[in-house]
Amino acid sequence: QSALTQPASVSGSPGQSITITCTGTSSDVGRYNYVSWYQQHPGKAPNLMIYDVTQRPSGVSNRFSGSKSGNTASLTISGLQAEDEAHYYCSSYTSSSTWVFGGGTKLTVL
């Protein structure tokens, strides 16, 4: 159950777009379309932003979008806003019937 691989940090200016990658294996990201993304602000519980690779829960801005190619999933945030500054975690269902998270990416809005 090795953690999924995410960049430790990304940054962008307001209005720009950024992409966070999440690399797994053929036993998790590459095998299932059960990849999700969470946003976590300091001291708060995680908030589900994307599920099933591309789906947005009700209430999540359409500035957030997800995709997947092979063993790598991606989260793109367009039109960056100050409130997007947070940690982002990917997660995937695995062939062991468990879940695995990525190490997390700190997004800084410059």
Partner 1 sequence: QVQLVESGGGVVQPGGSLRLSCSASGFTFSSYGMHWVRQAPGKGLEWVSFIPYDGNNKYYADSVKGRFTISRDNSKNTLYLQVNSLRPEDTAVYYCAKDRVPYSGGWHPPDYWGQGILVTVSS
Residues 30-69 that bind partner 1 (CB under 8 A): 32, 34, 36, 38, 40, 45-48, 51, 57
Strands 64-69 and 18-23: unpaired
Q: Which residue spans within 1-110 are E strands per DSSP?
A: 9-12, 18-23, 35-40, 47-50, 64-69, 72-77, 86-93, 99-101, 105-109
Given the rule CB under 8 A, which of 18-26, 62-70, 71-79, 95-103 is the region that contacts partner 1? 95-103
Binding of partner 1 at residue 89 (CB under 8 A)?
Answer: yes
Q: Which one, of 95, 82, 102, lies nearest residue 7 by Cα?
A: 102
Min. distance of Cβ 109 from partner 1 in angstroms? 20
Positions touching partner 1 (CB under 8 A) are: 1, 3, 32, 34, 36, 38, 40, 45-48, 51, 57, 87, 89, 91, 93, 97-104
